[in-house]
């Protein structure tokens, strides 16, 4: 919406005059000087009250002259009853307006066309407020969100309302993903994609990982809990591009990489997906979301991850030509564990670790395996390391990957797990059932993907409850 500058100025002048009069009255009755913070808070409250009245007046004014009867969804006829007042919870608070109401059909259902035209549901929050509540719900615990919101909205909402609106956004994303998965398995869609000559990036990265979420089913009133809490894997996927970090923007970590003959790279245009499902089901989301970013069309598709077998099994199945890279830092950690277990003397330990880590850095994985194998008689951790490096030998040619200017660290997906799971789902006192955890995480993933407006648009277009 755009507003006439002169009209806005005129209203602002009237509002400032109103605030000044209120200040004069307050200063005459109270001792001390009013602070700018108090003035700002007072102005915000005044604007909220004006907005609240304006919403009601505006919605009522949108009601045209009622027709005597209209068609019902069932095919029958609805008859005009009267102008009926109702209330919705807007971004300014509870707003009351009047609109024509129809009833009298044999199906026993009533209808208010104005409500349907603007996506309003009596007694419920508007889509605009719903999006704001969901933003709080994906950032803070449902318990603490109302306190935070009250400072911004200047009116109170309940914990359950925040939870409901947050999960509603997650359900919308769930629905989108299911439709995306279904479409990605249809032959016509796949053929159409092949004919599409739209923009395709030259190099694209994908990463997957999992983080634990505590699931603690809450029994209904009067029921005994069926089982104790359990930890479930929230699988997380990220698609992203990579760019070089300019010298002026390099952090200490970036400078260390450059000093070690490694490019300073960072991820950009990240898109995140997540779910608590089995790996083979997550693979469907991997493929469907990959279609959305043309992962199957790029010249170079690179996947980064740790040594988890489920990750590489899915990558090999859906993107068999992709370049697979085990995160350098995970690989190096395996060597650190072997060194710490095998050598008591610090100097010997450090010398061994430095030598073998250099083998790994140069892509000489066979030499790394031999070095670990020689310690298997005295070090149980060496057995695990031999298996780990043998299983991932072709994913650790770090000399080749660096020469091709590939990113070799999976920090992007580890950050995603922290932002989506640790930051929100593991807050103190959080209790989750699977649907709530998944929906909250999916909504947060959309926000972190900078695609929040798409969910807001879907939320605004939701049909009214029956």
pLDDT per residue over 62-117, tens digit each?
999 999 999 999 999 999 999 999 999 999 999 999 999 999 999 999 999 999 99
Query: What is the length of the chain?
Result: 466
Q: Where is mean pLDDT largest: 190-199, 214-223, 244-253, 384-393?
A: 384-393
**Poorest-pLDDT segment among 182-186, 218-222, 305-309, 410-414:** 218-222
Strands 323-326 and 203-215: unpaired
Is the residue at 275 inside a domain? yes
C-alpha span between 23 and 34 (Å, rounded): 8
C-alpha span between 404 and 397 (Å, rounded): 11
Q: 3-state DSSP call for residue 111?
A: strand
Q: 3-state DSSP call for residue 292?
A: helix
Is the residue at 401 inside a domain? no
Could you report how far apart the first and last alpha carbons of the chain are, in Å? 31
For 409, the token pair is: 């660290």
Assign 465 a pLDDT band (cuts: 50, 70, 90): very low
Is the residue at 402 inside a domain? no
* 131 and 52, same domain (yes or no): no
For 199, the token pair is: 């923009």
Kindly tell me if the per-residue pLDDT of 292 is higher than 70.
yes
Radius of gyration of the chain (CA): 29
* 199 and 273, same domain (yes or no): yes
Tell me what pLDDT residue 255 has.
74
* 301 and 413, same domain (yes or no): yes
Handedness of CA 245, 249, 252, 255 (dihedral sign): positive
Assign 319 a pLDDT band (cuts: 50, 70, 90): very high
Burial of 210 (0-12, 13-18, 19+ CB in 10 A): buried
Kindly tell me if the per-residue pLDDT of 312 is higher than 60.
yes
In the chain, % of residues over pLDDT 70? 95
Is the residue at 466 inside a domain? no
Is the residue at 171 inside a domain? no
For 429, the token pair is: 């006192």
The stretch 113-139 carries a mean pLDDT of 95
Across 168-249, the runs of DSSP E, i.e. the strands, are 203-215, 230-244
* 335 and 323, same domain (yes or no): no
* 319 and 442, same domain (yes or no): yes
For 244, the token pair is: 């070089």
Is the residue at 240 inside a domain? yes
The stretch 156-171 carries a mean pLDDT of 97
Is the residue at 173 inside a domain? no
Per the structure, the complete domain to which residue 353 belongs is given by: 331-395
* 358 and 214, same domain (yes or no): no
Determine contact, residues 89/76, Cβ cutoff 8 Å: no
Residue bearing the bigger pLDDT, 436 or 23 = 436
* 322 and 189, same domain (yes or no): yes
Kindly tell me if the per-residue pLDDT of 391 is higher than 70.
yes
For 313, the token pair is: 């099994």
The stretch 143-164 carries a mean pLDDT of 96
* 12 and 159, same domain (yes or no): no
The stretch 11-29 carries a mean pLDDT of 87
Kindly tell me if the per-residue pLDDT of 447 is higher than 80.
yes
* 309 and 258, same domain (yes or no): yes
Kindly tell me if the per-residue pLDDT of 363 is higher than 80.
yes
Q: How many CB atoms are closer than 10 A to CB 437?
A: 25
The stretch 152-162 carries a mean pLDDT of 96
* 158 and 297, same domain (yes or no): no
Assign 158 a pLDDT band (cuts: 50, 70, 90): very high
C-alpha span between 373 and 13 (Å, rounded): 81
Task: Say how many domains are in the chain.
Answer: 4
Q: Which residues pair with 268 in a beta bridge?
A: 241
Assign 226 a pLDDT band (cuts: 50, 70, 90): low
The stretch 131-139 carries a mean pLDDT of 97
Tell me what pLDDT residue 254 has.
75
* 339 and 322, same domain (yes or no): no
Largest Cα–Cα distance in the chain?
94
Is the residue at 172 inside a domain? no
Kindly tell me if the per-residue pLDDT of 466 is higher than 60.
no
* 187 and 281, same domain (yes or no): yes
User: Considering the entire predicted model, what is its pTM?
Assistant: 0.90
């Amino acid at each position: 919406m755009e507003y006439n500058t002169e009209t806005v100025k005129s209203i602002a002048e009237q509002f400032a005059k109103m605030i000044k009069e209120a200040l004069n009255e307050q200063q005459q009755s109270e001792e001390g000087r009013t602070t700018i913070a108090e003035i700002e808070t007072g102005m915000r409250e005044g604007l909220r009250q004006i907005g609240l009245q304006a919403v009601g007046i505006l919605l009522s004014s949108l009601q045209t002259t009622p027709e005597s009867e209209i068609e019902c969804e069932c095919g029958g006829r609805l008859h005009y009853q009267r102008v009926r007042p109702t209330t919705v919870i807007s971004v300014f608070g509870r707003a009351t307006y009047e609109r024509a109401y129809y009833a009298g059909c044999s199906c026993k259902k009533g209808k208010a066309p104005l409500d349907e035209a603007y996506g309003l549901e009596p007694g419920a929050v508007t889509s605009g407020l719903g999006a704001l509540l969901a933003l709080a719900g994906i950032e803070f615990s449902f318990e603490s969100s109302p306190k935070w919101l009250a400072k911004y909205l200047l009116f109170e909402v309940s914990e359950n309302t925040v939870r409901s609106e947050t999960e509603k956004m997650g359900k919308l994303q769930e629905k989108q993903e299911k439709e995306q998965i279904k479409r990605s398995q249809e032959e016509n869609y796949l053929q159409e994609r092949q004919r599409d000559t739209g923009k395709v990036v030259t190099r694209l990265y994908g990463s997957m990982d999992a983080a634990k979420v505590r699931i603690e089913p809450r029994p209904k009133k009067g029921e005994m809990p069926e089982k104790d809490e359990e930890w479930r894997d929230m699988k997380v996927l990220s698609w992203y591009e990579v760019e070089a970090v300019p010298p002026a923007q390099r952090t200490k970590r970036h400078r260390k990489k450059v000093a070690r003959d490694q490019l300073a790279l960072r991820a950009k245009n990240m898109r995140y997906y997540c779910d608590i499902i089995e790996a083979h089901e997550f693979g469907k989301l991997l493929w469907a979301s990959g279609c959305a970013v043309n992962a199957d069309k790029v010249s170079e598709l690179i996947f980064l991850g740790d040594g988890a077998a489920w990750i590489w099994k899915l990558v090999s199945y859906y993107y068999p030509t992709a370049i697979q890279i085990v995160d350098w830092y995970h690989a190096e950690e395996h060597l650190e564990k072997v060194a710490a277990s095998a050598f008591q003397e610090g100097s010997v330990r450090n010398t061994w670790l430095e030598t073998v880590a250099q083998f790994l850095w140069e892509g000489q994985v066979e030499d790394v395996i031999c070095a670990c194998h020689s310690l298997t008689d005295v070090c149980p951790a060496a057995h695990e390391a031999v298996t780990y490096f043998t299983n991932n030998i072709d994913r650790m040619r770090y000399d080749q990957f660096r020469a091709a200017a590939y990113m070799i660290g999976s920090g992007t997906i580890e950050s995603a797990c922290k932002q989506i799971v640790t930051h929100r789902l593991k807050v103190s006192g959080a209790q989750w059932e699977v649907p709530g955890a998944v929906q909250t995480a999916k909504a947060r993933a959309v926000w972190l993907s900078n695609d929040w407006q798409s969910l807001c648009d879907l939320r605004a277009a939701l049909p009214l409850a029956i």
